[in-house]
Amino acid sequence: MLHARNIHKSYQMGRHQLVVLRGVSMSVAKGEFLAVTGASGSGKSTLLHILGALDLPDDGQVIMDGLDVFSQSADRREHIRCHRVGFVFQFYHLLPELTLLENVLMPRMVASSILGWTQSRRQARLDAQSIIERVGLGPRAHHRPNELSGGERQRTAIARALVNQPDLLLADEPTGNLDAKTGEGLLNLLRELHAAGQTIVMVTHDPRTAAFAQRTLNLEDGRVQAAKDG
């Protein structure tokens, strides 16, 4: 489903160049649950952002179902991000003034024209409510983020990532802001989503978290060092 080929990425930091990725190549099969591990600064979050077309590589390709993502126009890459990829981040990034339901609906709204949203709004709400039920937050749909626990906020972020039915779910340290018990509950949810057919790539520095995945790929100093089955 997804192939990264010889990905290089660096950033200019004042007079110095910070090299982050040094020729990373990897593949993700449809329906796979892959964990990308590595110490802080190893390049794993940068790789995740490039896989999801949030960032551009200096060199290399990302191929999604035969489509060379970075050979597409900016508008086409935006369409890919909106419709084919869902993102879950460590710090949730929920809008505090919106309810849980409204936060989950946001990607569907962004992906629609004004006319399209008017015509599809009712179905979108039904779809969002269904996903909220699926992640166990049905009774909390009309609460705002400051009325939710950390685990509930992250489940909201997962529901938001799923609302456009993405082919690929990318999770960047999804348990990093949670206590151990809450984090385990979230990882069990990711397992359930994977068992239902969702393709997932998860970044983590914690080997216990990585153990929930099918396969682990390790980054060290911007290079792939090893891969193993979970």
The CATH number that applies at residue 49 is 3.40.50.300
Number of domains in the chain: 1
Tens digits of residue pLDDT in 149-203: 999 999 999 999 999 999 999 999 999 888 999 999 999 999 999 999 999 999 9
Which residues form the domain of 173?
A: 2-229
Return all residues near 152 (Cβ < 8 A) that are at least 6 apart.
100, 137, 140
Task: Note the pLDDT tens digit of each residue in 50-105.
Answer: 999 999 999 999 999 999 999 999 999 999 998 899 999 888 899 999 999 999 99
Provide the 8-state DSSP code for 176: T
Which among 130, 139, 129, 83 is positioned nearest to 107, based on CA atoms?
A: 83
- The pTM assigned to this predicted structure is 0.90
